[in-house]
Amino acid sequence: MQQAELEAKFAAFRAEFEKAIAAQLEGNSEPFKALWSHKPDSMIFGAQGGMEKGWPEVGHRLDWVTSRVRARLTRLENVSTTIHGTMAMTADFEHMVRSLDGREFERTLRVTQAYRFEDGAWRISIATVTSISRRGASCFGVQQSRRAPCDGVSSEPSMARNLLRDAHTPTSVPSTEKCSLGAR
């Protein structure tokens, strides 16, 4: 297959991807799961702190997150796309409005994904998802500076200072924090 054809198929795949992310956030994981490789080396590092390897585990994780998260995708912002032969990689920001306990707040995920062309179609093979925030942004529906620990994670003051040190630069929530709002 020629590179131009692979790139055209990838563009069509990404259009379906955006629809599938929106469906997942609204409670239907099936369209998103259909875009994943079902091979044993598929892998996800989720925004909720989990890591799964192998299709059955990845599929179960996607179902689990979909059952817990309700949000509305407001914008998929592609920062970078690289396609080389039958492999591709993207870096995106997924902007959304999350619903939790009857309240809504903005949320952004930083998502890096690797794809491969297999069995005649592009598939997600690896995803790394990290919740990001700006100073004062809400992760649990309360201001981060007053955020209580969750799942027994320490709320060490230096960690809070590091998260809030720059009002203009997004900072990643450390993976040791189990923020229960990840879209994946």
Location of structure tokens 């809070």: 160
d(CA 182, CA 184): 5
Residue at 184 is within a domain = no
Residue at 152 is within a domain = no
CATH code for the domain of 21 = 3.10.450.50
Q: Which domain holds residue 19?
A: 3-134
For residue 134, what pLDDT is reported? 53
Taking 70 as the pLDDT cut, the residues of the chain under it are 133-184
Residue at 100 is within a domain = yes
For residue 174, what pLDDT is reported? 33
Residue at 165 is within a domain = no
